[in-house]
Amino acid sequence: MEFPLLLAAEVERNVLAALVEDIGGGDLTALLTPGGRRAFGTVVCREDAVLAGRAWFESCFMHLDPQASIEWAVDDGESVAAGRTICEIEAGTRALLTAERPALNFLQLLSGTATITARYAAAVAGTRAKIVDTRKTLPGLRLAQKYAVRCGGGTNHRLGLYDGILIKENHILAAGGVTAALKQAQALASNGVFIQIEVENLEQLAEALDAGATMILLDNMDLTQMHQAVGLTAGRAQLEASGGVKLESVRAVAESGVDRISVGSLTKDVRAIDLSLRHVEQ
Does the annotation count 259 as an active-site position? no
* Residue in 13, 37, 101, 128 annotated catalytic: 101
Range 8-26 burial, b when 16+ CB lie within 10 A, else e: eebbeebbeebbeeebeee
Determine contact, residues 129/254, Cβ cutoff 8 Å.
Answer: yes
Contacts of 228 (CB under 8 A, 6+ apart): 202
Options 10, 90, 100, 198, the catalytic residue? 198
**Cα–Cα distance measured from residue 11 to residue 56, given in angstroms and rounded to the nearest whole number:** 6
Q: Which residue, among 95, 124, 92, has the nearest Cα to 252 in the 3D structure?
A: 124
On whether the CB atoms of residues 145 and 274 are closer than 8 A, the answer is no
Of 13, 37, 46, 168, the active-site residue reads 168
Query: Does the active-site annotation cover 168?
Result: yes
SS3 content of the chain, % helix, strand, coil (to 5): 45, 20, 35
Q: Which entry of 219, 236, 251, 274 is annotated as an active-site residue?
A: 219
Selected catalytic residue, list 136, 142, 158, 236: 136
Strands 130-132 and 260-262: parallel
Nearest to 32 by CA among 96, 94, 89: 94
Helical pair 202-210 and 223-233, crossing angle rounded to 10 deg: 20
Active site residue 207: no
Q: Active-site residue numbers?
A: 101, 136, 168, 198, 219
